[in-house]
Amino acid sequence: MGMQCSVSYVRYAIGMLLQGFPVCHQRTVIVRPVQPVSRYPSYDATRDSGKGSFALEREPAMVKTNGAAGLSGVVPALEIRGLVKWFGAHPALRGIDLRVAKGEILALFGPNGAGKSTLLRILAGLMRPTAGSAQVAGLDVGRDGDSVRRVIGVLASGHQLYEALTGRENLLFAATMLGLDRHAERVAKVLEKVGLEKAAEGRVRTFSSGMKRRLALAKLMLHEPKIMLLDEPFTNLDLQATKLLEEFLMTSKITGATTVLATHNLAIGFALADRMAILRQGRLVFDARRDDVSLESLRSQFALHGELWEVE
């Protein structure tokens, strides 16, 4: 017991020492004149464009209609407060506040460099925020990283597969790392779902981009995560695989899984999500429920910001 305490203390002390430099760095960075961080965004689009609409003076979409209705008092699947991230002198996130209800699909739109991937990386525990906090299933991503990783599934822009291993070996490795039981059975099941049961014995190096994406999807399906963070999941997917992913997201939603979907593809995002949010230059500039917005009005929001970046 005493030994255990000593080891914990040494680990804590080393952690504090190692984090000493970033903390000092953060202090100098935070005092820059960034937009004041409030609990919830108070963005007024009229200030930026002169045209205005969808000024978020209210709490984000959860107060309004369907998916998140009645959320108050319930621990949200995701809760982000005043999230700020600086890369050197460059701000990637400038005070994001966001809550996502259990079972909700949030489509996160934004041009390149808007901060979508950075936000997902912070939620996945791969990156520490400069300021603010992020909770996943009520767990702090910084403090409870291991527990957070048990409930999340991430589909990143890189497929995260080992090319020298076969498709099946990649999944068996993932199953071992995830601490799952009945490896072979689970792997066979997900391979069948993504239509790769015949190709599974081939090395991933020989797979097409679409096949690699399917295999990455199979890896995501392995442990049936409660919260999914998907970064451009439709890239390189053919129609069949796109349909497969859409079905998977819908089935997961029925079972209560929450999804954050970062994409450029407005039409797909709009079709799948319960809620849309737009990130621009590290700020949440738009947040609305699907029932409150049409695809056209969503498109007009992009035009409002004077940028043409939607990918069809």
Partner 1 sequence: MTFARRVLAIAWKDLVAEWRDRESITAMCFFAFLVLFLFSFALNGDQTLIRGASSGLLWLAFAFTGLLGLARSVQSELANDCLDGLLLYPAEREAIYLGKLLGNFSVILLVELISFPLFAVLYNMDLWAQLPKLLLITVPATLGFAAAGTLLSTMTAGLRAREAMLPFLLFPMTIPLILAAVRGTEVVLRHESFELAMPWLKLMGAFDVLFLVGSLLTFEFLVEE
Least distance in angstroms from the C-beta of 100 to partner 1 = 19
Counting contacts by CB under 8 A, is residue 150 touching partner 1?
Answer: yes
Q: Is 157 a binder of partner 1 (CB under 8 A)?
A: yes
CB-CB contact of 291 with 66 (8 Å): yes
> How many degrees, rounded to 5, is the angle at CA 21 between CA 17 and CA 27?
125
8-47 positions binding partner 1, by CB under 8 A:
10-11, 14-15, 18-19
Q: Does 173 bind partner 1 (CB under 8 A)?
A: yes
Segment lying near partner 1 (by CB under 8 A), choices 94-102, 166-174, 268-276, 288-296: 166-174
The reply on whether position 126 binds partner 1 by CB under 8 A is: yes
Side-chain-side CA neighbours of 103 within 13 Å: the count stands at 11
> Can you point out the beta strands (E) in the chain?
78-87, 90-100, 105-109, 131-136, 139-140, 152-155, 227-231, 258-262, 275-280, 283-289
Q: Are 234 and 217 in contact (CB under 8 A)?
A: no
Q: Does 165 bind partner 1 (CB under 8 A)?
A: yes
CA 12 → CA 9, 19, 140, 156, 296, distances in Å? 5, 10, 17, 31, 52
- 258 pairs with which residues across the strands? 227
**Site track 206-245 with partner 1 (rule: CB under 8 A), x = hit:** ----------------------------------------
Q: Which stretch binds partner 1 (CB under 8 A): 34-42, 173-181, 260-268, 281-289?
A: 173-181
Q: Give the residue from 84, 4, 167, 100 showing the smallest Cα distance to 175.
A: 167
Shortest Å distance, C-beta 154 to partner 1: 5
> Contact positions toward partner 1, by CB under 8 A?
7, 10-11, 14-15, 18-19, 124-128, 146-147, 149-150, 152, 154, 156-165, 169, 173-174, 176-179, 203
